[in-house]
Amino acid sequence: MLSTQAEVPQRVSDDRFRRAFACFRINHVGDPAAGLTELRRVVHPGGRIAVTIWPHPQAPLQRLWSHAFEAAGAERPPLLPTLEPDKDFARTPEGLCGLLRNAGLKDVRCDAISWVHRADPEDWWSGPANGIGTLGVLMQHQPADMVARIRYEYDRLTAVYRQDDGTLALPTGALLASGSV
């Protein structure tokens, strides 16, 4: 029988896991410190927590979309959420380590990692163009002529990253931080 009431997730018990990972998630919650505190709550003492975030300054992969929107003259709709200044943190190794330490983690370390992201340019365009993620919400709030200008700028900006086979090779990087409970 189907329930007409929404399912409420059950709270995970304390100290349930040996490890917890938050890959590119901490920077998408309204209170990153509270998110880390919750991860710490569910990890055994002596366990480890690891998180990844996109760093600042941004690598070409992350800058691509903001540059395309900016070059096209697109405006950010006011309905898009922003992080409250008192809950924000620097997207640097020091800022991320501080966030983990303030959440009570010990033996905190952070490594900058880099790679080249390879993608079909149409596939890379299709995510935001089809409403996926914050960029997709931003794209959906643009008139058709603005979307065409964004596409023009996207094509112009990605030209330098196109390989002989037509794929994109976009340099990128992340910060990988971890600490023990």
pLDDT band at 1 (very low <50, low <70, confident <90, very high): very low
Cross-strand bridge partners of residue 23: 52
CA 172 to chain centre: 13
Q: Structural domain boundaries of the chain? A: 17-180
Identity at 147, one-letter amino acid code: V
Identity at 63, one-letter amino acid code: R
Q: In percent, how much of the chain has pLDDT > 70? A: 94
Check residue 179 and give its pLDDT.
98
pLDDT band at 12 (very low <50, low <70, confident <90, very high): confident
Check residue 21 and give its pLDDT.
95
Check residue 156 and give its pLDDT.
97
DSSP classification of residue 11? P
Identity at 44, one-letter amino acid code: H
Cis link prior to 57 (omega < 30° from 0)? yes
pLDDT in tens, 67-98: 999 999 998 877 777 788 999 999 999 999 99
Phi, psi of 59 (to 5 degrees): -80, 165
**Residue whose token pair is 């405006």:** 75
Both tokens assigned to 90: 């620097």
The SS3 call for residue 25 is coil
Residues contacting 153, CB < 8 A, separation 6+: 67, 68, 69, 71, 72
Which H or E run contains 3?
none
Residues contacting 78, CB < 8 A, separation 6+: none
pLDDT band at 7 (very low <50, low <70, confident <90, very high): low
The SS3 call for residue 162 is strand
Edge to edge, what strands does the sheet with 168-180 contain? 17-23, 43-53, 168-180, 106-119
Residues contacting 1, CB < 8 A, separation 6+: none
Check residue 2 and give its pLDDT.
44
pLDDT in tens, 106-129: 999 999 999 999 999 999 999 999
CATH topology for the 17-180 domain = Rossmann fold (3.40.50)
Chain length of the chain: 181
Whether the pLDDT of residue 6 is over 70: the answer is no
pLDDT in tens, 123-161: 999 999 999 988 898 999 999 999 999 999 999 999 999
0.85 cut: is pTM over it? no
